[in-house]
Structure 1
Amino acid sequence: MRYDTPVIFRRVVAGAYDPDTGDYADDSYKDVRLYASVMDTSTRTMELVYGSIKQGSLTVHVQGHVDMPFDQMVIRGRNYRVDYTRRLRTKQSFVISEVQ
């Protein structure tokens, strides 16, 4: 297993309210970049997680554990959400699907 794909774990920080203008500031992002093993999700795993076959589903393995809170993952410029995660002794795996 090669951990050669850069994965960005993104936390969305909501913009603060400005009482002088009455507007909210733009949202900002806190990104943490890790390298992971990214592969297509097997048909059997998709049946267990989703109940059917879902296009655009990936399986991501990260060495160690991801203890920081995050809202989405960015892989190759595309946004993904976590559908299932599993913490093993020395790594953590995620089953993710693309967000439109």
Structure 2
Amino acid sequence: MRYDTPVYFQKVTPGEYDPDTGNYGDDTVKETLRYASVMNTGEEKLRLVYDGPKQGSLTVQIQKHYEEPFDRIRVGKKLYRVDFSRKLRTKHTLIVSEVQ
């Protein structure tokens, strides 16, 4: 298994309210890079997690546990949310689905 795909764990901080203009500022996104093994989620897992097939879901496996809080994951240019997470002894497995 190769851990060669860059995966970015994103923490989103909402923009501050500006009372002078009545608008909110831009959101701030902090990214943390980890290399992972990324593969399509099998049909058996899709039935277990989603109770049926769901398009755009991936299985992401990283070598060490990721303990920091995060809101979403970016793989390439696509954003994903975590639907299922499992921590093994030395690995962390995440099943993610694409955010529209």
Q: What TM bracket, shorter-length normalisation? A: over 0.9
- Map Cα deviations across residues 18-77 of structure 1 (whole Å, 9 max, x no partner): 233332211110100110000010111111000101111100001111111111111011
Kindly, what percent of the aligned residue pairs are identical?
54
Q: Which amino acid aligns with 1:82?
A: V
Q: Does 1:31 align with 2:31?
A: yes
Q: Residue in 1 aligned with 2:12?
A: 12
Q: Which runs of 5+ in 2 are unaligned?
A: none
For this pair of structures, how many residues does the alignment match? 100
Residue 61 of structure 2 aligns with which residue? Answer: 61
Q: What is the TM-score normalised by the length of structure 2?
A: 0.95
Structure 1 runs of 4+ aligned residues shifted over 6 Å read none
Following the alignment from structure 1 to structure 2, what is the Cα–Cα distance between the partners of residues 51 and 69? 27
SS at match of 1:53: coil
